[in-house]
Structure 1
Amino acid sequence: MKEKIIYVVVVSLLAVMLFFGQKAYTHAKAYEEVTASLVSHMSAKKLAEFQLKELAEVFSLGLYKNGKKRKLAKLTQQAKVYKSKSKTYALYALLPLLGILGSYFFISLRAFTFFGALGALITLVFGLISPIMMVTIHKEVEYLGDVVLSFESKGLIGSITKLLENGDMVVAVVILLFSVLVPMVKTLSLLFISVFMESRFAHGVVKFFKMIGKWSMVDVFVVATFLVYLTANKGEVSRAEVEVGLYFFLAYVIVSMLVSLSADRMLHQHKENLATL
């Protein structure tokens, strides 16, 4: 009875992850769109027009109102709200992972591997589809202010698509294979192992992913993203901002590692039990 209650709690935690993960993704995309709209008004030409309208408002003694100022203020406020909510919802989505990992002490290894793999799958999916980083190249120009020269919101799937569009086929395929397909197949395989533990194929799957695990680029990708963030933030003309997709990726790296160890231990115990029969 106690174990069933724990199962219900863990399933509820997974549902909470899905709910708030979807909320975090929605608000992260909204923040991306509003920021892109805001940045579009910060080119040299647009800022020059804005300054002229500001002068017109001053010289007209208030008869002419610069409507663009109110529009930009509204967009800025919206961006702040979406940014805050996306990170808050991401936190709400990732906190249940602590409860799922804590269930290790109360349920069987098999059940923990199954639920842990589901949690890893959720974080991986949201990590793949959510924005990871926004990079802005800007320069302070006299009389105009902060002019944006370039703006990009980067996500893993979007980056792969852009590489393909630019003809960088080899790089795109490598990233797609080792940062998307291998982690996805590995996570689904962990689910398979937990359900079909008695199968000989399950042991082969674990050995296979142990062998290719060192080639997985998800953790490398996360570290590289952090390096890009740190170096970009130090430049006078560049600014990088980490988005919620990176948090989901970090969570996936940690959870998948723990679940892999759990699956290995589960199969080892199963093998010992068969030997004693």
Structure 2
Amino acid sequence: MKQNIGFILNILALGLFVPGIMLPIFSMNMEMQADLGSSALSTALIDKELSILGTVTELWNEQRYLVGFLILFFSVVVPLLKTSLVTVARIIRSQETKQKLLSFVTSIGKWSMADVFVVAIFLAVLSTDHASTTSTEQINMGLFKITFELSSQTLSNVGLGFWFFTAYCLISLAGTQLFYRGVKQG
């Protein structure tokens, strides 16, 4: 019974995984504004939504291969490998082979906690929410002085992909543990 529930949870987790890596995990907007008395000039400096796969693509295009590879490996490859091995273990009849596979899944499960680390990094980025700076500047032009305020504001929000990926992490962990306990008992 635990094996069946664990397997179903892993399949459900896989269903959450796909939108979790494809949908935006967070968005960030940064705007700069210059107030000149009764007038104001405003421009967007950053307006970005990033998914896990979008982040990997962007890092790859910027030739940050190591960071892009690590995010891809720990957030995409290891979870897919883990789910594939649990599926193979479900199909295999040999109890000994099943236990070996699940023992391996448990050992890479420790490495797959790096996907949770990736989510934590995104949360750290989100801590910049509503960060703003303001400074008063002056331009001297001979007899004229122009005083203005220069300000910037950074807003960030959690995207839908964050919630799917977090749900994937938790349900996958629970499903794998249940499946493994069911195999050990039966």
Q: Which runs of 5+ in 2 are unaligned?
A: 133-152
Q: CA deviation at 1:141?
A: 2.5
In the alignment, structure 1 residue 155 sits paired with structure 2 residue 71:
no
Matched residue, 2:88: 192
| Residues 7-46 of structure 1: per-residue CA shift (max 9 Å, x gap) | xxxxxxxxxxxxxxxxxxxxxxxxxxxxxxxxxxxxxxxx
Q: What's the counterpart of residue 169 of structure 2? A: 253
How far does residue 116 in structure 1 lie from its aligned partner after superposition? Answer: 0.9
* Structure 1: stretches of 5+ with no match in the other structure: 1-107, 271-277
Identity %: 23
1:171 is matched with which residue? 67
How far apart are residue 164 of structure 1 and its match? 0.8
| Structure showing greater relative contact order (alpha-carbon pairs closer than 8 Å, 6 or more residues apart) | 2
Aligned to 1:222: 119
State the Cα distance separating 1:123 from its structure 2 match.
Answer: 0.6
Choose which of 140, 146, 157 in structure 1 pairs with 2:33.
140
Match of residue 140 from structure 2: none
Question: C-alpha deviations, 1:164-204, integer Å up to 9, x for none?
Answer: 11111111111111111001111122222223253533212
- Within the alignment, does 1:117 sit opposite 2:10 as a pair? yes
TM, length-normalised to structure 2: 0.81
Amino acid of the structure 2 residue aligned with 1:137 = M
Shift of 1:120: 0.5
- Aligned partners of 2:61, 2:96: CA distance in 1, in Å? 43
Aligned to 1:39: none
Pairwise CA RMSD of aligned residues?
1.6
Query: What is the distance in 1 between the residues matched to 2:85 and 2:78?
Result: 10
Task: Choose from 234, 239, 243 the match for 2:155.
Answer: 239
Q: CA contact under 8 A between 1:160 and 1:172: conserved in structure 2?
A: yes
The aligned runs of 1:1-277 (5 Å cut-off) are 108-142=1-35, 143-144=39-40, 146-196=42-92, 198-216=94-112, 217-230=114-127, 232-236=128-132, 237-270=153-186
Cα drift, residue 229 of structure 1? 0.7
Other structure's SS at 2:88 match: helix
- Deviation, structure 1 residue 146: 4.4
Instruction: State how far apart, in whole Å, the 2-side matches of 1:158 and 1:202 are.
Output: 36
Query: Equivalent residue of 1:233, what SS?
Result: coil
Distance 2:119 2:73 in 1: 16
Runs of 4+ in structure 1 deviating by more than 6 angstroms, as ranges, are none
What number of residue pairs does the alignment pair up? 162
- The 2-side partners of 1:264 and 1:234 are apart by 44
Q: Please give the alpha-carbon distance, in whole angstroms, between the structure 1 residues aligned to 2:108 and 2:8.
A: 23
Aligned partner of residue 238 in structure 1, secondary structure? strand
What is the rounded CA distance, in whole Å, between the counterparts of 1:257 and 1:215 in structure 2? 12
Match of 1:144, SS state, is strand
Contact 1:113 1:190 in 2 (8 A): no
Out of 260-269 and 200-209, give the one that drifted further.
200-209
